[in-house]
Amino acid sequence: MTIHSFTCIEGHTEGMPVRMVIDGVPTLPGATMNARREDFVAHHDWVRRALMLEPRGHAHMSGTIFYPPVNDNADFSLLFIETSGCLPMCGHATIGSIAFAIEERLVVPKEPGTVTVDVPAGQIVARYEMDGARVSSVRFTNVPSFLLARDVEIDIPALGRLAVDVAYGGNFYPIVEVQPNFPGCEHFTPDELLAWGRDVQRAVNAALDVVHPDHPAIRGVRHCMWTGKPIADDAHGRAVVIAGDSLVDRSPCGTGSSARVAQRFARGWLQAGDAYCHESLIGSRFIGRVESVMRLDSGLDAVRPSIEGRAWVTGRAQYRVDSSQPYAHGFSLQEFVN
């Protein structure tokens, strides 16, 4: 029998859970957070499963693991964990983890009002605003984001032929805009969009070799973005983001919003400096902005987007993982479906 104990800060970013693990985590080798992510996936994925999946988590759980900085100029590092895997980047979890780390005094930023965070997708810089002891908003500048492919045609059994753009904002997203066979996300239930989102992921991976041109270890599609008409008059767009087989994002999705900003810039629908108010399934919002225009080492045009949102701490928790118990390392109902 082996017993492990983990201390977590619990909270949410614009409605989407963030469970930040701050104690009990494995030490990871590697000179970069991406190398450490690869070691975590190879040797410690049971930690993710135990803390994200049932019975300690649920189908829509998302979180981070808090680590010391890798680089001297950083304030801390993050590893992103959720039900679908260990991701290179997660925007809503970045916003939440920055707010939690500052409010809970886990870190004293080198420069007040600014934090630098090492993540598997690179290094991000964020600015935050305080309202007394609470972090009222976080705005981070994301990794270079770009449109990889446009108008990729796929067939989805329930909808028929769709054309999707595939964009990167820390993760790859097939973006399904309103079109003849898809009138908008507001016309369908979350369960329908979740099921069809799995189909989109499979179809895009079959149709296209999705690989980051500068970082070939980042590859494949594990998300899907369904777009539609926003609820509020002052919002520019709305999205329901699906991650993996079972997760429906309650927030507008930080990396998804970054991908959508990059897509819209590449399409000529946004200009440098423009803001984009992106709404979620539940009406919460992120503000995306084209901060700068750049070119990847591979020569592909890209942008540096920023994403602004809010997060709230809801409590602390201590989790025990006892290897002698049934389902000690977590389970998903999807694993029991043929």
Selected catalytic residue, list 8, 86, 90, 185: 90
227 touches 269 (CB < 8 A) = no
Q: What are phi and psi of 133, to 5 degrees?
A: -90, 0
From the list 262, 266, 269, the residue with the least C-alpha distance to 236 is: 269
Q: Tell me, yes or no, if 90 is annotated catalytic.
A: yes
Its sign, for the CA torsion 270, 296, 304, 35, is positive
Q: Is 253 a catalytic residue?
A: yes
Q: Tell me the C-alpha distance between 82 and 143, whole Å.
A: 20
Element (H, E) at 286: strand 285-295
CB-based contacts of 128, cutoff 8 Å, min separation 6: 98, 99, 102, 113, 114, 115, 135, 137, 138, 139
DSSP letters, 46-83, are HHHHHHHSBTTS-TT-EEEEEE--SSTT-SEEEEEEET
Give the active site residue among 86, 185, 253, 277: 253
By annotation, the residues acting in catalysis are 90, 253
